[in-house]
Amino acid sequence: MDWKHAYLKPNQNGLLQWHGNIPEYDKELVIYIQGYFSIDIFIFEDDGNAELEENFSADDFYWCELEKPDTGNGG
């Protein structure tokens, strides 16, 4: 698994902005936050904010793309 890190920090105007490795929108991800794993989706809200769909209050998380395992039988 290729883990990446995304986090919020203030930009030059003092507004929080995502930094690090930002995941693509609307793709299922494996998320690691404060010792726990979960499946979540990074979304772009109508109000202009980007956040995790289930862990919407997260401001720092590790993630990797969710992919099917190679079972050796083509499945």
Average pLDDT score over residue span 60-68? 91
Q: What is the pLDDT of residues 5-46, one digit of tens each?
A: 999 999 999 999 999 999 999 999 999 999 999 999 999 998
Q: Residue 48 has what pLDDT?
A: 84
Q: Residue 33 has what pLDDT?
A: 96
b/e per residue 40-62 (b: at least 16 CB within 10 A): bbbeeeeeeeebbeebeebeebb
DSSP string, 6-61: EEEEE-TTS-EEEEESPPPTT-EEEEEETTEEEEEEEEE-TTS-EEESSSTT-SEE
Q: Say if residue 75's pLDDT is above 60.
A: no
Q: Residue 69 has what pLDDT?
A: 77
The model carries a pTM of 0.83
